[in-house]
Chains A and B, each alone.
Chain A
Amino acid sequence: MFFRQVAGIISKEFTQDFRQKSFIAGVLLYVIATVYICYLSFRTILHPPTWNALLWIILVFAGINAVSRSFMGESKNRQLYYYYLCKPHVFLSGKLIYSALLMLFLGMLTYFFYGIFINNLVQDKLMFFLILCLGSIGFAAILTMVSAIASRTGGSFGIMAILSFPLLIPLLLLIIRLSKNAVDGLDRSLSLPYIGVTSLLIMIIVTLSLVLFPYLWRE
C-alpha cells in the first residue's frame, strides 16, 4: 500500500514535470548556459581544487533552481487535494525520491557538459561518480524540505535561496572534501569514513524531514 502510493506520487510528479516542455528545457538550458559561461570565463581549469569547487557550485545553484519547484510549483488548492488523498509521510517520501532522481539526472548532466566544455580532471572516475550520486541525493533531501518551508511563505525564489544556503553548507563542505580526494585519485580507504559520515548526515536529514513534515502540512 505504502509503496504503491509512493510510486503513484513519483509517477505523478514525473508526468507533471515532463508534460511541461518548458520545465525540462529550462533545467537543461540552465545547466548548459552556466557551464558555457564558466567555459567562456575560464577556458580551461588546471587547478584541481578550483575545478572541483566550481562543479559543485554550479550543481548547487542548478539544484536550488530545479528542486524549488517541488512544492512551490503546486497551487494551494491542489495541495489541499493531496492532503485528502494520502498521508504526509507518503507524500513527502514520493517528493523526496522524485527530487533525488531529478538531482541525479542534473548531476550527471552537469558533469557531462562540464567535462566536454571545460575539462575532466578526475582520476578516480568510479569513486567520483559515487560521490556525485551521494551529493545529489543529499542536496535533493535538503532542498525538498526547504522548498516545502519556503512554499508556505508565499513562495519567492529569494527566500528559498536564503533558507537553503546555511543548511547546504555542512553537506557541501563534506562533499567537496570527498570529491577532491576522488579528483586527486587518492586511495579509496581515505574517503571511506567521510562517505560514512555523509550517508549518516543524509539519513538524519531524511528522518528529520519525515518527522517535521506533518506539522508543516496542516494549515
Chain B
Amino acid sequence: MKIKWWKALCIALLLYTIIAGLLIKVPALPILHETIRNLYFHVTMWFAMIFILSVSVWNSVRFLSGFEQKYDTVAVESAKAGVFLGILGILTGSLWAKYTWNAWWANDPKLNGAAITLLFYFAYFILRSSLEDENKKARISAIYNIFSYVMLIVFLLVYPRLSDSLHPGNGGNPGFNTYDLDSTMRKVFYPAVIGWCIFSYWLTELGIRLKKAAMITDEL
C-alpha cells in the first residue's frame, strides 16, 4: 500500500501530538495545572480551522474569477472540514472550561467569536441548500462566503479587544507565552498546529473524492 508523504507526515505529527502532548512534562501553573495540555488540541484545532476556512475563501475567489466548478467543490468541502474542526474545538474547549471555570459555557469574547463563526457557516450551508441550479449555487454561495469571511476576520480581530477574556494569557491569567520559558510546550505546539492543518486538508480531500465518486455513480 502506497501512502502519500503528507498523509504519513500528518499521521506522524498527530501521533506525536497525542503521545507527547499527554506525557511530556508541562509547566505547573495555578488554575490550569494539567489541563494546560488542552493547548495542544483545542488551540491548534482553531488554528487549523482558520487555515482551512482561508483555503475555502481563496477557492471562492478563484471560482469567481473563472467560474470553474472544481473550485466551488474545494470551497464547500473545506468549509465543511472547517466547521467540523470548529465543532471539535468547541467540544474540547467546553470540556476544558468545565474543569477550570466550572462551567460548560461562559460569556467570553472568544467563545462568542467561535459561536458566531459556526453561525456564519451554517448560514452558508443553508444558503447552498436553498438553491437548485449548480452554477447559481456556486456563484451566490461564493459571494456570501467571501462577504462573511471578511466580516468574520474583522470581528475576530476587533471584538476580543473590546472586553477582557477569561482565557489563559488574557487579562492577567497565566498562559503558556509568559511561563513557558524553556519552550518545552512549543516543541509540541508547533508540530501540532501543522498536524491539524494537514488533517483538515486531508478531510477536504476526502470530501472532494466522495463528491466525485457520487457524481460518477449518478451518471451510471
Docked CA distance A162–B141 (Å): 14
Contact check: which of A165, A201, A205, A209 meets B119 at CB < 8 Å? A165
Q: List 29 A-B contacts (CB under 8 A).
A: A145-B147, A153-B131, A153-B140, A154-B130, A159-B130, A162-B123, A162-B126, A162-B127, A165-B123, A166-B116, A166-B120, A166-B148, A167-B120, A167-B147, A169-B116, A170-B116, A170-B155, A170-B158, A173-B159, A174-B158, A174-B162, A201-B154, A204-B151, A205-B151, A208-B150, A212-B146, A215-B142, A216-B139, A216-B140
Confirm or deny: A59 has a beta carbon within 8 angstroms of a beta carbon on chain B: no
Interface of A is mostly: helix
Determine the chain B residues whose CB is within 8 A of the CB of A204 once the complex forms: 150-151, 154
Determine the chain A residues whose CB is within 8 A of the CB of B119 once the complex forms: 165-166, 169
- A2-26 contacts to B, CB under 8 A, are none
CB distance A212 to B158 under 8 Å?
Answer: no
Contact check: which of B116, B139, B155, B158 meets A215 at CB < 8 Å? B139
CB distance B64 to A215 under 8 Å?
Answer: yes
CB distance B131 to A208 under 8 Å?
Answer: no
CB distance B131 to A149 under 8 Å?
Answer: no
Determine the chain B residues whose CB is within 8 A of the CB of A177 once the complex forms: 162
Docked CA distance A215–B147 (Å): 12
- B151-176 contacts to A, CB under 8 A, are 151, 154-155, 158-159, 162
Docked CA distance A170–B159 (Å): 8
Determine the chain B residues whose CB is within 8 A of the CB of A208 once the complex forms: 146-147, 150
Confirm or deny: B211 has a beta carbon within 8 angstroms of a beta carbon on chain A: no
Determine the chain A residues whose CB is within 8 A of the CB of B70 once the complex forms: none
CB distance A153 to B151 under 8 Å?
Answer: no
Where the two chains meet, the residues of A that have a C-beta atom closer than 8 Å to any C-beta of B are 145, 149, 152-154, 159, 162-163, 165-167, 169-170, 173-174, 177, 194, 197, 201, 204-205, 208-209, 212, 215-216
Known: A149-B127, A167-B147. 5 other contacts (CB 8 A): A145-B147, A153-B127, A201-B154, A204-B150, A212-B147
Determine the chain B residues whose CB is within 8 A of the CB of A173 once the complex forms: 159, 162
Confirm or deny: B25 has a beta carbon within 8 angstroms of a beta carbon on chain A: no
Confirm or deny: B186 has a beta carbon within 8 angstroms of a beta carbon on chain A: no
Determine the chain A residues whose CB is within 8 A of the CB of B136 once the complex forms: 152
Confirm or deny: B144 has a beta carbon within 8 angstroms of a beta carbon on chain A: yes
Docked CA distance A209–B143 (Å): 9
Determine the chain B residues whose CB is within 8 A of the CB of A145 once the complex forms: 147
Determine the chain B residues whose CB is within 8 A of the CB of A167 once the complex forms: 120, 147-148, 151
Determine the chain B residues whose CB is within 8 A of the CB of A212 once the complex forms: 64, 143, 146-147
CB distance B143 to A215 under 8 Å?
Answer: yes
B51: min CB distance to chain A, Å:
21
- B48-88 contacts to A, CB under 8 A, are 64
Q: 1/0 per position for B114-133, CB-CB distance to A under 8 A?
A: 00100110010011001100
